[in-house]
Chains A and B, each alone.
Chain A
Amino acid sequence: MVALEEVGDAPLVAAVGRYRKEALAELYRRHGGAVLGLVRRVTGDPVEAEDVTQEVFLRLWNEPERFDPARGSLRTYLLTQSHSRAVELVRSRAARLRREERDARLTATAGYDLDHEISDLALAEQISSAMDGLTSDERQAIELAYYQGHTYREVATLLHQPEGTVKSRIRAGLSRMRTSLGERGVTTG
């Protein structure tokens, strides 16, 4: 008998497909904190963060076959969904705010001050240091988009830069981080 903690993510997802509640519990233990942390960071709202976490894990329970291991790790899959949902929440809230206080909001977010508090996971540390290798323009664009849920057009407005430039910087920055991780022998799958 193999201890649950020693089973890889993919067999655990398969077990979820067979209604193993304890397998979902183990996946929640492994990845729930990252999901919760990401959504909390993007939305700034602990209640919404718990709601999204619940949604994401229930979805994994109901539709485990949607996870395609050929396209990346389970953590990537869960965080991709969580981020997308968090951004939806931020945008619907932003649309509401925009009607009321467009200028105030832009002023408030333009003076962003993002901390770099990232977990002690080895990969996150590596990614964080790969981030340091970016130009400050690339880093700002990626952070404003990812952590604050802005579209690249909004980022362009906030940074007073052309949209096309911001779009290219996001792509170039992400590609360069991957290359930089690869050179250090880190795989991100």
Chain B
Amino acid sequence: MAPDLMGRPLDHREIEDLLGAYALDAVDPDERAAVDAHLVECVRCRTEVDHHRQIAAGLGNDVSPLSAELWDRIAGQLTPRPARDDASVTAFPGTPGELARARDRRRKWRVRPLLGAAGAAAAVAAIAVLGASLAGTEGQLSQARQALDGTASRAAVQAALAVPGHQVARLRSANGSALAELVVMPNGRGYLTTSKMPALPAGRTYQLWAIFGSRPISLGLLGNRPTTASFTLASGQSSIAGQPVLAVTVEPAGGTTSPSGAPFVSGSLRS
């Protein structure tokens, strides 16, 4: 019998029971969605799934011989690197900054690790880009792992994007450039998933707002170099006053109680 997703969400125990089957891709789509949504919030279950998948990957070690033809097929579809990327071929590790710049060039929208606390006005902080953990030495890698454990990960964003009924907003500047993207789940929990907003000088911060009609409600500070953040759009807010416009303004560090100027970027939620 399918879980009663409409009426009663699966409780923690029921989700836990599913984790093994989930890790083996052996659950029904509605159960998968329920677990995806739960993993957004639950570090412990996410860790358990990661562990099950590591075991499963060991089960999958049926190595087949590779053909040169298959590699040629793959290689034939690789997008070429941009001309500006002039880094040395042998300098693989690179610095996090270099990697971040390289990624900036190749990705329109990036999803980065999250650091965030729940709460309507929770201040949020930037976290080292994934590049830092990829590019570092082993020692740096384990540090990065420690930094990431206990925080919501990029998987949280991906899971949020898999939750039925989620909405996304693409925030655009006055000239129409899409500079940030948000996802909000039906329960009101939301994430700044990607940002191309430029870094601000010290002493300034980006602040996120939900604007209902003409009434702005602060959703939190994004800092002066936004990467990824979490926030909560209280469900009562949108049901009473309709769909808000989400906007980001530039404010003095510490934020303000109402926007001091026109939004830097803004956009509406859509399904």
What residues make up the interface of A, taking CB atoms closer than 8 Å to B? 1-2, 7-8, 10-15, 17-25, 28-29, 32-34, 36-38, 40-41, 49-50, 53-54, 57-58, 61-73, 75-76, 79-80, 82-84, 87, 117-119, 121, 123-124, 126-127, 131, 142, 145-147, 149-153, 155, 164, 166-168, 170-175, 177-178, 181, 188-189
Contacts and interface: CB of A to CB of B under 8 A. Distances in A.
Contact of B59 (A28, A142, A172): A142
Nearest to B73: A54
B110 A167 contact: no
Interface stretch (B146-154, B210-218, B225-233): B146-154
Contact of B53 (A72, A155, A172): A72
A131 B56 CA distance: 11
Contacts of A1: 90
B79 interface: yes
Task: Give chain B's interface secondary structure class.
Answer: helix
Contact of B62 (A117, A181, A189): A117
Contact of B89 (A20, A24, A25, A40): A20
Nearest to A40: B64
Contact of B133 (A29, A32, A70): A70
Interface stretch (B4-12, B92-100, B182-190): B92-100
Interface stretch (B19-27, B235-243, B246-254): B19-27
Contact of A37 (B64, B92, B111, B149): B64
A185 to B, nearest CB: 15
Interface of B: 16-21, 23-28, 46, 48, 50-67, 70-71, 73-75, 77-82, 85, 87, 89-90, 92-94, 98-99, 102-103, 106-107, 110-111, 113, 130-131, 133-136, 138, 141, 144-145, 148-149, 153-155
B56 A121 contact: no
Most buried by B among A70, A76, A79, A151: A70
A24 B107 CA distance: 18
Given A1-B90, A146-B56, A171-B19, 6 more contacts: A14-B92, A14-B93, A61-B78, A64-B134, A71-B155, A142-B59
Nearest to A55: B74
Contacts of A84: 25
Contact of A65 (B89, B111, B153): B111
A188 to B, nearest CB: 4
5 contacts: A14-B134, A69-B141, A69-B145, A72-B57, A117-B62
Contact of A171 (B17, B134, B154): B17
A121 B46 CA distance: 27
Given A11-B135, A65-B107, A71-B153, A80 B56 contact: yes
Contacts of A71: 46, 50, 153, 155
Contacts, number: 248
Contacts of A62: 79
A87 B21 CA distance: 13
Given A17-B131, A38-B62, A167-B17, A150 B57 contact: no
Contacts of A33: 63-66
A65 B20 contact: no
A64 B111 CA distance: 11
- Candidate in B16, B27, B61, B94 with the most chain A CB atoms within 10 angstroms: B61
Given A24-B78, A152-B26, A167-B17, A11 B93 contact: yes
A145 B92 CA distance: 39
B26 A18 contact: no
A155 B26 CA distance: 9
Contacts of A123: 58, 61
Contacts of B52: 171, 174-175, 178
B62 A18 contact: no
Contacts of B71: 25, 28, 32
Contacts of B111: 65-66
